[in-house]
Amino acid sequence: MFPAAGFWCRMSTETSDTGNAMTQQDTLREAIDRIHRAGDESINTLLNRPLADLCVAFFYRYTSISANQVTMLAMFTGILSAVAVLYGTPTSLFITGLLFQASAVFDCADGQLARLKGTTSKFGRILDGISDYVVGFANVGATIYACTVHYETVSAYAIIPFSENSALPLILLGFGSLVLHILSFDHLKTRISGIVNTGIDQIAKDRMRLARHSDGKRQSRHRRHPAVIYINRFYTGLQEILLPLGAYTKIHYTERERIAIARQEERLVFLWSFLGPNTHIILSIIGVLCRDLTSVYWVFIIPFNLYYICLLIYTKWHMKKSKEIISS
């Protein structure tokens, strides 16, 4: 009788432990999904991702194109959109809007294709970031050229009037604001989602690795792309300066901490998602399709920067609460 009772008792305990493990895994999976949804921009969910799904299905079934090649395709399409801006005519601006949107869709598709083929890599992520800035700088340069050389044509369609002398500072200040917003959003989203997904703070890990190898020695896997790795280190360092996340100083986090972080940071990541790159891009595309090249920069300079400052203040206060929760 007693052995049988002990047997059922052990069975009950093992079943309970298994059930608790499964519940914890389900909760962690929900936490990962929650933080992913919070950081996904609305324009991605409604427009870019459905179109990217169609592209990925075509590339995967009918071609042997790689994810990095799709990244190059996105960059090439974005550069073509900049070439179309140079002409400054209503037709060329309409073509610019279409090409710019196609570039945004391809930029969304490369990561999906990499995950589908199991070819995700750090180099691919760095290449994707570099291509975004190449497209951005190309279009800004083309916009400055169009506003200078074709001032009469371009200014005729501007909702907010601007003088020929104010075009350059307006565009540069607007683009600088855009870069500032994207750097901060990308830093927050990448770091928080990375911790929740893997339990490892990759930025803190890289910082420790740099401290250990301060003598200048590189690991063998970094020798293939030393320039790219250097750019990535500079990029992440700049992000940390712009938006310090003081609550996160460890490298490894437990499952319970990851779940708590997802709950704590979900709203913060969601609020920052309105300053994501695709939000800026869709506003630029709408402006270009309306044949207005400059009014969107006023949006980046005034309302978006005010929102950015408010978020910086809120994030600093929020990090104090996050540090208390993590340490407890």
CB 79 within 8 A of CB 71: no
- What CA–CA distance (Å, rounded) separates 98 from 57? 21
The average confidence (pLDDT) of the chain is 86
**More confidently predicted of 271 and 243:** 271
In terms of DSSP H, where are the helices of the chain?
2-39, 42-43, 49-62, 67-85, 90-117, 122-149, 151-156, 167-198, 202-212, 226-242, 255-272, 277-289, 295-301, 303-327
One DSSP character per residue, 104-132 reads: HHHHHHHHHHHHHHT---HHHHHHHHHHH
Domain positions in the chain: 39-327
Residue 228's pLDDT band (boundaries 50, 70, 90)? low
pLDDT of residue 235: 73
CB 89 within 8 A of CB 288: no
CB 78 within 8 A of CB 138: yes
pLDDT of residue 244: 86
Q: Tokens standing for 120? A: 């995700």
Residue 226 has pLDDT above 60, yes or no: no
The SS3 call for residue 184 is helix
pLDDT of residue 141: 95
Question: How far does Cα 298 stand from its chain's mean position?
Answer: 23
Residue 212's pLDDT band (boundaries 50, 70, 90)? low
pLDDT of residue 92: 94
Q: Tokens standing for 99? A: 């090409």
Nearest CA to 203 out of 218, 188, 217, 213 is that of 188
Phi, psi of 265 (to 5 degrees): -100, 0
CB 263 within 8 A of CB 192: no
pLDDT in tens, 78-127: 999 999 999 999 999 999 999 999 999 999 999 999 999 999 887 888 88
What's domain 39-327's superfamily in CATH?
CDP-alcohol phosphotransferase transmembrane (TM) domain (1.20.120.1760)
Residue 312 has pLDDT above 60, yes or no: yes
Residue 227 has pLDDT above 80, yes or no: no
Residue 241 has pLDDT above 70, yes or no: yes
pLDDT of residue 123: 85
CB 136 within 8 A of CB 74: no
- What CA–CA distance (Å, rounded) separates 14 from 90? 71
Residue 10 has pLDDT above 50, yes or no: no
Indicate the range of 63-72, 163-172, 185-194, 204-213 predicted with least confidence: 204-213
Question: How far does Cα 323 stand from its chain's mean position?
Answer: 24
Q: What is the DSSP letter of 160?
A: S
pLDDT in tens, 124-156: 888 898 899 999 999 999 999 999 999 999 999
pLDDT of residue 207: 67
Phi, psi of 252 (to 5 degrees): -110, 140
Q: Tokens standing for 107? A: 């930029």
